[in-house]
Amino acid sequence: MIDRDPLLDRVIAELKQPIEVDPAARKRLLDATRASPPRSLPGAVAAALWRRPALVALAAAAGIVLAVLAGPGADEEGGERWTTPVRFALAAPAVRGVALVGDFNDWDPKATPLEPSGSGDEWAVTVRLRPGRHAYAFVVDGTRWVPDPTAPRAPDDGFGVPSSVILIPERL
């Protein structure tokens, strides 16, 4: 048996839900669309589609399912869809290295090193984050974990390591 993505199961279940429409409103809408197909489509195609609203609904549902199945992919900027580029920076003069750790990289100090910028007093990196709340911290010289002094503190995680929090809003 093939395991399906839970998101796909939720989309399928939602698409199967009946939609209650006022019969009189439906009749008025269908009469209006049959009377005048849009002029932007070629006449024969428009007439065929607008006389068969079930085909239009089926095509729309298929488009939604395909979009969900396609999942994350490259967008126009070459990044991943539904992510936002976020620049993380820390003023840390006279250190050998800084890394970014967080729930987005499994708190791995080797996953996201920062690069020195400018005079070397600031370290920075840009990462793409999905919408949501993310806890993170910096690791200085491989041992000292520090929260971001420019961001709100995250609630205590029970491990005694101070961290910060960033909220990435949904993209419209």
Q: Tokens 């729309």 map to which residue?
A: 60
Cα–Cα dist 101/134, whole Å: 10
The candidate with the shortest Cα–Cα distance to 67, out of 86, 49, 81, is 81
What is the structure's pLDDT at 144? 94
- Three-class DSSP category at 33: helix
- Three-class DSSP category at 20: coil
Tens of pLDDT along the chain (172 residues)? 466 677 777 767 776 767 666 777 667 766 665 665 555 545 555 555 555 555 545 444 444 443 444 444 444 444 456 789 999 999 999 899 999 999 999 999 999 999 998 777 899 999 999 999 999 999 999 999 999 999 999 988 788 888 999 999 986 5
In the chain, at which residue ranges do the beta strands (DSSP E only) sit? 84-91, 98-102, 115-117, 122-129, 132-140, 144-146, 164-168
CA 67 vs CA 2, 6, 61, 62, 159: distances in Å = 20, 15, 10, 9, 40
Q: What domains are defined for the chain?
A: 6-70 (no CATH), 84-168 (2.60.40.10)
What is the structure's pLDDT at 80? 56
Q: What is the pTM of this model?
A: 0.54
